[in-house]
C-alpha cells in the first residue's frame, strides 16, 4: 500500500511541473506587459520600469523561470496590491473558508446522491428512478450562480429562514479563536453553541447550492455502476447462495459499484472547485474564490496567479487522495502496486 502511494506520488510530479510551467507562462509570455499588470492600472511609466527591474522581467525567460520557481519554493507568490499583503498569507487566511464550504457541499451531495443512485438502480423504473433521472438532468443544466440566487430569494427574502447571504458569520456574532480555521469545528471547540448555530445557518445555503451542482454526476454514476454490478455473475451467485437482499446489495454490490464512482469524484472536484468561485461571489463568502474575483476586478495580477496555482495544486492532491481511496476500496489495486 505504501509502495503504491509512493509510486502514485511520483506520477504527480509531471502534473505539478506542468502546472507550474503553465502558471508561469500565463504571466510572462503572453501579450501585454506583465510589469504593467503587476503595477496596476494607474501606475506611471517610471513605476512600471521600476517594477520590471524588481521582478526581474528584463532577464531572459529561463532565468525568470528559475527565479519564479525559487520564489515558489520559499512560498513567495508576490504581493497583492489591493490588500497590501503577501499573496501567500492572504490565501492561507482565506483557504479554510473555501475548504469548509467545498467539503460541506461535497458531503451533502454524497449523502443524497449515493442512496438515491443505489435506490434508483435497485428499484429500476420506479418513481425513485425517475426522480434520479430528473435530478441528473436538471443538475447539469443549472448554472450554479443562478441556483444560489434562487435559494437566497426563496429562503432569505420570501421565507426569512436563512440569514442574509453576507459571508460566514453574522456581523454581530463573535469569531471563535482560530484553531482549525473551520468555523463549525472552532465554534464547537470553544463550546459556543450559539455561534455554531449562527455559522451553520450561514453555511447551509451555499453548501446546498454546491451540493445541487455536484449531485448530478455522482447520482448518475452511482446508478449506472450499481446497475452494471447488479447484473454481474458474482451478484447472481451471491443471491443463489441464499444471501439476504441487504447483504447482496450492501456488501457485494455496493463496494464494487463504488469504484467508478470514486473515479468520477476527480471530475466532480474539478467542477466543484470552479463552482466554488461562483458560489463565493453570490454569498459574499470570504474564501479564496472571492479573493480572486476581487483581484480580477482590480486587475491585481499576483493574487490571481497565486489562486490558480493553489487551486491546481489542491486539485492534483485531491486526485492523489482519490487514487489512494481507490486502493483502499479495491484490494487488487493494492496488490498490483
Partner 1 sequence: MNDMSQILKKEPEPAPGEALSAESLPAKSSPVLRFEAPPSTSLWAHARYIVTENPVTGLAFGLFALILLAALIGPSIVPYDPLASNTNAALQAPSRAHWFGTDQLGRDIFSRVIAATRLDFSIAVFSVALVFVLGGLAGVMAGFFGGWVDKLVGRIADTIMAFPLFVLAMGIVAALGNSVTNIVLATAIINFPLYARVARAEANVRREAGFVQAARLSGNSDWRLLLTQILPNIMPIMAVQMSLTMGYAILNAAGLSFIGLGVRPPTPEWGIMVAEGASFIVSGEWWIAFFPGLALMIAVFCFNLLGDGVRDLVDPQRRN
Residue closer to partner 1 (CB basis): 32 or 60: 32
Q: Per the structure block, which three cell numbers stand in for 299?
A: 486587475
Residue closer to partner 1 (CB basis): 2 or 158: 158
SS3 173: coil
Sign of CA dihedral 211, 213, 218, 223: positive
Sign of CA dihedral 169, 96, 309, 103: negative
Q: Where are the alpha helices (DSSP H) in the chain?
A: 2-28, 34-39, 45-55, 61-73, 87-122, 127-141, 144-152, 183-189, 193-230, 233-240, 245-247, 254-282, 288-297, 301-329, 331-336
Give min distance, CB of 298 to partner 1, in A: 10
Residue closer to partner 1 (CB basis): 65 or 175: 65
The gap between the terminal CA atoms of the chain, to the nearest Å, is 7
Residue closer to partner 1 (CB basis): 115 or 143: 143
- Residue in the block written with cell 457485494: 252
Residue 125, sorted as left (phi over 0), alpha (psi -120 to 50) or beta, turns out to be left
DSSP, res 175 = P
The residue count for the chain: 337
Give min distance, CB of 86 to partner 1, in A: 19
Give min distance, CB of 236 to partner 1, in A: 23
Residue closer to partner 1 (CB basis): 20 or 71: 20
Give min distance, CB of 211 to partner 1, in A: 17
CA distance 71 to 73: 5
Give min distance, CB of 237 to partner 1, in A: 27
Residue closer to partner 1 (CB basis): 13 or 335: 13
SS3 168: coil
Give min distance, CB of 251 to partner 1, in A: 28
Calculate Rg over the CA atoms of the chain.
24
Residue closer to partner 1 (CB basis): 31 or 242: 31
Give min distance, CB of 311 to partner 1, in A: 4
Residues that bind partner 1 in the complex, under the rule CB under 8 A: 14-16, 18-19, 21-23, 26-27, 30-32, 137-138, 140-146, 149-150, 152-153, 156-157, 164-165, 269-275, 277-278, 281-282, 292-293, 296-297, 301, 304-305, 307-308, 311-312, 315-316
Amino acid at each position: 500500500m505504501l509502495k503504491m502511494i509512493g509510486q502514485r506520488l511520483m506520477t504527480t510530479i509531471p502534473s505539478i511541473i506542468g502546472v507550474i510551467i503553465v502558471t508561469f507562462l500565463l504571466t510572462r509570455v503572453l501579450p501585454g506587459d506583465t510589469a504593467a499588470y503587476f503595477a496596476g492600472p494607474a501606475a506611471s511609466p517610471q513605476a512600471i520600469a521600476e517594477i520590471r527591474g524588481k521582478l526581474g522581467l528584463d532577464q531572459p525567460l529561463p532565468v525568470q523561470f528559475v527565479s519564479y520557481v525559487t520564489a515558489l519554493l520559499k512560498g513567495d507568490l508576490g504581493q497583492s496590491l489591493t490588500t497590501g499583503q503577501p499573496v501567500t498569507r492572504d490565501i492561507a487566511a482565506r483557504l479554510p473558508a473555501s475548504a469548509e464550504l467545498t467539503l460541506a457541499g461535497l458531503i451533502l451531495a454524497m449523502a443524497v446522491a449515493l442512496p438515491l443512485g443505489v435506490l434508483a438502480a435497485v428499484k429500476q423504473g420506479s418513481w425513485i428512478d425517475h426522480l434520479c433521472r430528473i435530478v441528473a438532468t436538471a443538475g447539469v443544466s443549472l448554472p450554479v450562480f443562478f441556483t444560489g440566487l434562487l435559494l437566497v430569494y426563496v429562503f432569505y427574502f420570501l421565507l426569512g429562514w436563512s440569514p442574509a447571504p453576507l459571508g460566514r458569520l453574522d456581523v454581530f456574532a463573535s469569531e471563535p479563536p482560530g484553531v482549525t480555521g473551520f468555523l463549525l469545528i472552532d465554534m464547537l471547540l470553544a463550546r459556543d453553541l450559539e455561534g455554531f448555530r449562527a455559522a451553520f445557518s450561514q453555511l447551509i445555503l451555499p453548501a446546498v447550492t454546491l451540493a445541487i451542482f455536484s449531485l448530478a454526476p455522482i447520482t448518475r454514476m452511482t446508478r449506472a455502476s450499481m446497475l452494471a454490478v447488479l447484473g454481474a455473475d458474482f451478484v447472481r451467485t451471491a443471491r443463489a447462495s441464499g444471501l439476504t437482499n441487504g447483504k447482496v446489495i450492501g456488501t457485494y454490490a455496493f463496494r464494487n459499484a463504488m469504484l467508478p464512482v470514486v473515479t468520477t469524484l476527480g471530475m466532480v472536484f474539478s467542477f466543484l472547485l470552479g463552482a466554488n468561485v461562483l458560489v463565493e461571489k453570490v454569498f459574499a463568502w470570504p474564501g479564496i474564490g472571492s479573493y480572486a474575483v476581487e483581484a480580477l476586478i482590480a486587475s491585481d495580477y499576483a493574487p490571481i496567479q497565486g489562486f490558480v496555482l493553489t487551486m491546481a495544486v489542491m486539485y492534483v492532491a485531491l486526485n492523489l487522495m482519490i487514487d489512494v481511496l481507490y486502493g483502499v476500496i479495491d484490494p487488487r489495486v493494492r496488490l498490483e502496486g
